[in-house]
Amino acid sequence: MTTAVPAPTAAAPPPLRRRLRGVTAESVFVERSLRHSLRDGESLLMAILLPVMLMLMFTWVFGGAIDSSGAYVDYVVPGIILTCAGFGASSTAVYVANDMRTGIIDRFRTMPLRAGAILTGHVVASLLRNLVATAIVIGVGVLVGFRPTGSLVEWVALAVLIALYILAITYLFAAIGLAAGSPEGANGYGFVLLFVPYLSSAFVPVASMPGWLQPIAAHQPVTPIVETIRGLLMGTPLNAEPWWAVGWCLVILVIAVAWGAWLFRRKAGRR
């Protein structure tokens, strides 16, 4: 390094930053976030291992006590699929908070990039991460005796719904990451959200809950989503549940995106 450095213009790089075409910035950031995911072994392992353990625990350990006929597996797997789908999304909050804390965001901000491209990167990476984890969890479910009856069309509908749910909850976690002062804080806030599925029909029917809890459990967003997954995979009656499910996902998505954009402008706009 003590040797003289050749003039950087020798290789004649372009003198100006070029205007980026299409979604170049977004795809660069997706690639970055995917690398982060793959290198953050702990989070990745947790995002897959914990849901799998959850699946095994509910089917083997609790399953027998709740319903000795074995039908509980078919009841609970859709709920676990949903719980897992949101599980890996929580690390998005930590990644986003981390970006905001380090100086790297300022370097991005001095470049002519579309604001928010960096968030898109985190969100798309989370979507892919969670879809893979969800597929693994469904696979494990089948191994332990889950026998879905859905047709191909129903599976496709299921994939779309789960992707929409992951997207909504990821944006929510991204916004939480922006709102939190630190990655540690982001982790804490994110954890709270993971309890929401337990207060739904995911693990036990709403009718079995204490009376005061029933209205809350029946009308919170997770219940119609779980009921839709159950209907698609097990043929239980769907009624209006899919509309509620999609509606809730869209509502959460719109709120999260708007909140995130507002926070992003405040934190990463001109100060």
Q: Where do contacts with other proteins occur on this chain (CB under 8 A)?
A: 1-2, 4-9, 11, 13-20, 24-25, 28, 31-32, 35-36, 39-40, 102-104, 106-113, 270-271
> 27 or 220, CB closer to other proteins?
27
We find the least distance from the C-beta atom of residue 45 to other proteins, in angstroms, to be 16
We find the least distance from the C-beta atom of residue 2 to other proteins, in angstroms, to be 6
We find the least distance from the C-beta atom of residue 14 to other proteins, in angstroms, to be 5
How many other C-beta atoms lie within 10 A of the C-beta of residue 13? 7
CA dist., res. 77 & res. 55, Å (int): 7
Q: Which two tokens stand for residue 153?
A: 């069309």
CA dist., res. 221 & res. 201, Å (int): 11
We find the least distance from the C-beta atom of residue 15 to other proteins, in angstroms, to be 6
> 5 or 65, CB closer to other proteins?
5
> 25 or 249, CB closer to other proteins?
25
> 36 or 230, CB closer to other proteins?
36
We find the least distance from the C-beta atom of residue 43 to other proteins, in angstroms, to be 11
Q: Would you call 149 exposed, middle or buried from its count of C-beta atoms within 10 A (0-12, 13-18, 19+)? A: exposed
Query: 71-87 vs 152-179: helix axis angle to the nearest 10?
Result: 40
Phi, psi (deg, nearest 5) at residue 178: -75, -35
> 27 or 236, CB closer to other proteins?
27
* H helical segments located in 180-240: 183-193, 214-219, 222-234
CA dist., res. 79 & res. 198, Å (int): 9
